[in-house]
Structure 1
Amino acid sequence: MPANPRNGRPYRELCARQRAFGLPCWICGHDIPYEITGPAAGTHRWAFTLDHLVPLSKGGDLLDPANARSAHRRCNSARGNRQSAKVEGTSRRW
């Protein structure tokens, strides 16, 4: 079974470089609480995640810094593999 490239040093270094920029979420534009780290970051919806401008499933390069973007975990998950950064809101009317 091949190793997961997201567990490798080059990917971790790319994440660290992107995190160091301290940029807001490229999808929603709000600040990312970069102080959320460790195990809590793996499930916290507003934690930093590395998103890819061109999704990996659409041919984007995992390790290309030009394809890397800072995003909230929630925004990244909601975007899925769409190439647009626009995240649709809820379809329910409250």
Structure 2
Amino acid sequence: MAGDPRQGRPYRRLVAAQKARGLPCARCGGYINPHLDPRSRWSFTLDHIVPLSKGGDLLDPANARSMHRRCNSARGNRTGTTVPQRTSRRW
């Protein structure tokens, strides 16, 4: 297949199936509104438990979970769902 595999039918099917499950965000536990504009930071995105950059399988349903776009971006390519602790600049 030429081009980006995320534009292919198998990936779109995986995204649709995960979205249809209606699960909360795997990072923050919040509700994900399936009708939001995809560009909204609170919209649905498919997150990979094992990041693709670390050898995760793009099309494996066991490697997929629901997440807000904002939470997925904040997670980056780290494994796990823990939120990094913020430190205070005040001494």
What is the TM-score with the length of structure 2 in the denominator? 0.90
User: Where does residue 31 of structure 1 map in the other structure?
Assistant: 31
Aligned mate of 2:64, from 57, 62, 68: 68
User: Where does residue 7 of structure 2 map in the other structure?
Assistant: 7
More helix by share: 1
Q: SS where residue 84 of structure 2 aligns? A: coil
Deviation at 1:48, TM superposition (A): 0.1
The alignment covers a number of residue pairs equal to: 89
User: Where does residue 54 of structure 2 map in the other structure?
Assistant: 58
Aligned mate of 1:45, from 41, 56, 67: 41
Name the CA shift for 1:31/1:87 in 2 (closer, same or farther; >3 Å). Answer: same
User: Structure 2: which 5+ runs fail to align?
Assistant: none
Name the CA shift for 1:28/1:21 in 2 (closer, same or farther; >3 Å). Answer: same
Highest Rg: 1 or 2? Answer: 2
What is the TM-score with the length of structure 1 in the denominator? 0.87
User: Structure 1: which 5+ runs fail to align?
Assistant: none
RMSD: 1.6
Q: Percent identity?
A: 62
For residues 45 and 69 of structure 2, what CA distance do their matches in structure 1 show?
Answer: 5
Q: SS where residue 77 of structure 1 aligns? A: helix
